[in-house]
Amino acid sequence: MDHSVEMAHSELRSLVTKSARGAGLAWGLAEEAGWAAEWLARRSLPAGEWAAIWLSAAVEGQPGPIEFGAGLADRVANDAGDLKPEAVPDQMAAPGYILPFLHLIATRRGTVAITDAVGTVVRVDQDGTVAFGPSWSDRACNWQIAMAAPLRTTSRAYLSSSLVDCLEGLALRTTVPPSDVSRRNAGSATSDND
């Protein structure tokens, strides 16, 4: 039976840094990995679990979220121009490790979001708040990073037309095709005179 090992955030940072180095990352990227693990853990996100996933992929030579996230932050965090949509590599393991780097960008540029065809995958605000959308997954798939549109008022719901089409298609499964029997049995069998 597996049991939990409690560790301080700094201990996790050190362990992930050394693990990243052992998986073949250069020292600079390994230190970024440790910093990202601590950032995630401080937000109660599964830093250790995600690290094991992407470090296993790194051992096999697959590019991971640290290389991508650090490179993206270096390129755009201090750039004064518009942030052009940036594709997240498909099938990247444990894309949650991109989130700390998105926070670095957000602190300088404003809220950053990853989106896909359905809508929001995740948003990262200037204060480091992370809000996951319905498309969040343990593997990236057709994700784009861009500056986030301002949040709309909460008195109304805003859905993409493709999402509405999907939901309406499922809702139609509850309807009965019109027939003499369905018309005869429609409505209440009793009166509703309160």
- Return the pLDDT at 81: 64
Name the token pair of 104: 């670095």
Give the pLDDT band (50/70/90) at residue 191.
Answer: low
Per DSSP bridges, beta strands 112-115 and 130-132 are unpaired
Chain-centroid distance of CA 165 in Å reads 23
Sequence-ordered list of residues with C-beta below 8 angstroms from that of 137, at least 6 positions apart, any chain: 95, 121
Q: pLDDT exceeding 90 applies to what percent of the chain?
A: 55
- The per-residue pLDDT for range 45-95, each reduced to its tens digit, is 999 999 999 999 999 988 899 999 999 998 887 676 667 889 999 989 999
Q: Is 58 exposed, middle or buried (0-12, 13-18, 19+ CB in 10 A)?
A: buried
Tell me the sheet residues that pair with 144.
Answer: 87, 115
Rounded CA separation 151/45 (Å):
23
Q: Which one is predicted more confidently, 11 or 161?
A: 11
**What value does the mean pLDDT of the chain take?**
87
Per-residue pLDDT, 56: 93
Is residue 50 a contact partner of residue 38, using CB atoms and an 8 Å limit? no
Q: Higher model confidence: residue 129 or residue 188? A: 129
pTM for this structure? Answer: 0.76
pLDDT value, residue 192:
62
Specify the pLDDT at position 102: 95
The C-alpha angle with vertex 66 and arms to 63 and 68, in degrees rounded to 5, equals 65
What are 122's strand-pairing partners? 114, 132
Higher pLDDT, 117 or 177: 117
